[in-house]
Structure 1
């Protein structure tokens, strides 16, 4: 097995996923900010709100187009680069993606055209409904995609069929209402709202600093301050709920995030900073808040967070159980009617995926030595240092966003935001921060699941297609060049739209002519 192909396949998908995720959150947030602004226009009939809605709608449209283009690449990669993944779990994983394409994407893709070209063809209320449907479709797309992703993190409602050698749906309701998927959806969508609010706040602050488009800028800033404050608070609260969900479903990920090497008497303390030493398997120089991690993770004063060392011991037990299931499957291949082997498989089938971890060390898991089983168990520990620090960067930015939007809300409420140039400069500088936090969050979510493509079911090194390193390097270079070009185009288009600014002139009014060089005489 060429693990280099695994790493290159992961790198390619990571690059395309992280690039795609630059556009998705902004689309999610801007869509509902457009609904808010247009609702105010419909209620007040003040043209300035129509101008603001159309301006931010232009930014939304540019971003929406790039998000669609990059998302299509990711869809195809499941067939081209992760063909065994698609074969093994396609019956479950493909269903939410199909529903997303047939329902949510068709809704938003149809309505977005009507939204842009229907301003003078629909009533004000009719156009507002169309804008709401665009926002609804955009957020429903995120819902179905995160249901699929949540199933990868917590594969409920499915079972392995030894006759077809594939995972199959046993309870689609459990797939839909997966607690991990629900937590990921609300947390991810709230992060998108923060990103959009930061962009609107920062661009509005830029206009106010330059003394341009002040009527639109100060109203947009007010909307961004309120929407951003609510969203940033939601991100922290829902992030806490996501952490609580990890306690039951992804204990190893939680232990890696907090660099908990060994289970300690409860309640567990939260490590603010420290140096996770993966060689000595301890966290050095740590600054800890007593009890806090136990309260967050277990909602109790005596709860503990399982340490990685103890979780590795449990993984060894599951690997040993999985070897029995693997042996039963191999025997059922030659004798599908063997009731004894079927009973053995049914008893141990939930641990089959753990036996597959051994294929990284030898071809037949049944021949594994105790040392190989131990090594495979330690493979279930993700990169602790990376998890520890990316989570803290994300959390720090999250609290900084609360402070930023809290200050913006106070200043806008007191009508002091026009005079507070220090804050306007801060708002402009803060535009990239929520994007950084979102990318860090995606890294924590996806790398924290390693070595699994499907948690406890399918190791990542078994999920990819049969490709050469040369082919992967070629496509990585191609995607990097293509996406780099698209990034330049998007940034230039958005900067050009910001430089041009809102167009206060109604479309049915003639454009102003050139200023004559000399006075016109009769």
Structure 2
């Protein structure tokens, strides 16, 4: 049940703005590299049609890029407005990659986007091609630093709690940057963006072929999209396996919830293809399993045991009790900064301090918790099993569908055979699916981390600002209305230019009919 409190509403607001923002991000990532590939062919061949392809898809890229900037800027301000204690507690670590993203990647990307659009007649062919590649690199650098920050929320490495400042502080920027969870998330996320861009180009090209318009333009676009998309779709699956391995290493509860694995199984564990999870009774109905599959994928071994939800709850209970030792030592240290014994005790048990903080949902002083309250707090570490189970499986099913779609598209492109209306319709109606898969992936990643804002360190309910329900409802409503308006504007602009086609979309605004894109 969703609670109507400031923390829950702030979660909903940030989740909504993030999901809106990620409607634009994957297409930006995917189209940026497709533009670079198309312009590279133009520079190598000198054929005007490849320049026109770069310009037309670049116009659609520009619309999407502008919307992505508009929806992304406000997200960072929410850390100060809705998540003030989060910003205070972990700002020293979390702020570093965000600052680098803003100072380096964002300015690099934005500066060269301007040169991309206005430099066609002012730069040499090679100079403009360099700009286009820098746009693609800048887009990916932006994603890298954002995902380093997010990866630290999933696996907080390279930082320690300082009892003198009552904050988490960075100890190793190297560990932060090369966090295995962050690196696996980065390659998986950008590959998903490449799939999105490829599906977009494939679908629009199929639309032109079905309408009998701009055939030469559409066929060449489909060739590029099918090849790049096939490589990207295969990468998503391979890199998704790497991401799953990182989850099994660092977020065991998330993995158990995704698999609805209530009890620990003998290694290697089976993968559940289908089931109806029963959260109340902690069992699965109509379960269909593939023996050994989960153990081999998640642990890459045949003898590593994956703990079930029930055992992980017991582990959480033990960590809460251990964390209470750290919490008591912290309180003693706050009363007497010179208490060396309390400082030593805190250092020895600091890894579990965050688990003791889970009790603050029920008690102002966690040290007064009884066994029942500790057990209740331990059960709070289990995220929603049903939504995670199904969202993950739909996402994976879509991933394999994309591989099949691109395989067929690539095979037909190699034969220059584009006369299959049924297949073209499948391409056209597949247009929204990569966005569905991407949003589901983010839901699994973020919802599966609950109840933590920083996994094992800071519970979400403690991270929010001291704001009222009315204040958050007001801003939430405003964001939803504003972002929905931007999404409608984006779709209308995209649809308008796509319906016009490259010939009209690239026509100069002056009255003279000017250059017609080559067919």
Indicate the TM-score class for this superposition, using the shorter chain for normalisation.
over 0.9
> Which aligned pairs between 1:143-292 and structure 2 lie closer than 5 A?
143-292=144-293
Give the structure 1 partner of residue 488 of structure 2. 488
Shift of 1:276: 0.9
Give me the whole-angstrom Cα distance separating, in 1, the residues matched to 2:11 and 2:313.
24
CA contact (8 A) 2:507 2:513 kept: no
In the TM superposition, 1:447-458 aligns within 5 A as: 447-458=447-458
Instruction: Give the match for residue 517 of structure 2.
Output: none
Quote the residue 2:399 is aligned against.
398
Number of equivalenced pairs: 511
Is the contact between residue 3 and residue 461 of structure 1 (CA under 8 Å) also seen in structure 2?
Answer: no
Give the corresponding residue for 1:119: 120
**Please, which moves more after superposition, 362-371 or 498-507?**
498-507
* Aligned counterparts of 2:342 and 2:371: Cα–Cα separation in 1: 24
What runs of 5+ residues in structure 2 fail to find an aligned partner?
515-519
Give how far 1:507 is off. 6.2
Q: What is the CA–CA distance in structure 2 between the aligned matches of 1:10 and 1:440, rounded to whole Å?
A: 17
Q: Secondary structure of 2:147's match?
A: helix
The answer for the alignment partner of 2:46 in structure 1 is 45
1:488 Cα shift?
1.3
Q: Hey, what's the Cα distance between the residues in 1 that align with 2:513 and 2:89?
A: 63
Distance 1:304 1:392 in 2: 22
SS at match of 2:503: coil
In the alignment, structure 1 residue 410 sits paired with structure 2 residue 411: yes
Distance 1:507 1:431 in 2: 29
Displacement of 1:508 in angstroms is 12
Secondary structure at the aligned position of 2:246 is classed as: helix
Answer whether contact 1:232 1:398 (CA < 8 A) is retained.
yes
| Structure 2 CA distance for aligned equivalents of residues 301 and 81 of structure 1 | 45
* Aligned partner of residue 289 in structure 2, secondary structure: strand
> Does residue 1:33 correspond to 2:22, yes or no?
no
Q: Distance in 1 between matches of 2:274 and 2:283?
A: 13
* DSSP-derived class of the 1:501 partner: helix
| In structure 1, C-alpha distance between the alignment counterparts of 2:366 and 2:290, rounded to whole Å | 43
Partners of 1:492 and 1:373 in 2: CA distance? 53
In the alignment, the residues of structure 1 paired with residue 317 and residue 440 of structure 2 have an alpha-carbon distance, to the nearest angstrom, of 30
| CA–CA separation in structure 2 for the residues paired with 1:248 and 1:262 | 18
Shift of 1:6: 1.4
- Corresponding position of 1:141: 142
- The equivalent of 1:56 in structure 2 is 57
Q: By how many angstroms is 1:302 displaced?
A: 2.6
Structure 1 residue 3, shift from structure 2 partner: 6.7
Matches within 5 A, 1:483-522: 483-503=483-503, 511-512=512-513
1:131 alignment counterpart: 132
Q: Indicate the larger mover: 4-13 or 81-90.
A: 4-13
Shift of residue 512, structure 1, vs aligned partner = 3.2
Note the residue ranges of structure 1 that are not aligned, 5 or more in a row. Answer: 514-522
Equivalent residue of 2:107, what SS?
helix
Contact 2:271 2:292 in 1 (8 A): yes
- Who is 1:368 aligned against? 369
Q: Which residue of 2 aligns with 1:351?
A: 352
Deviations 1:305-341 (A, max 9, x none): 2101111111111101100111111111111111100
- Equivalent residues in 2 for 1:17-96 (5 A)? 17-96=18-97
Shift in Å, 1:430? 0.3
- Tell me the alpha carbon deviations over residues 267-314 of structure 1, each in whole angstroms, 9 at most, x when there is no partner: 100000101111111112110000000100111123332101111111
Show CA shifts across 1:429-465 (max 9, x none): 0000010000000000000000000000000000010
Let me know the Cα RMSD of the aligned residues.
1.4
Shift of 1:214: 1.1
**Pair 1:394–1:244, CA change in 2 (3 A):** same
Task: Determine the C-alpha separation between the residues in 2 that align with 1:116 and 1:400.
Answer: 35
Aligned to 1:310: 311
Structure 2 partner of 1:432: 432
Change (3 A) 1:167 1:3: farther
Distance 2:512 2:138 in 1: 35
TM-score of the two chains, using structure 2 as the length reference: 0.97
Per-residue CA distance 1:12-33 (angstroms, 9 max, x = gap): 1110000000000100010000
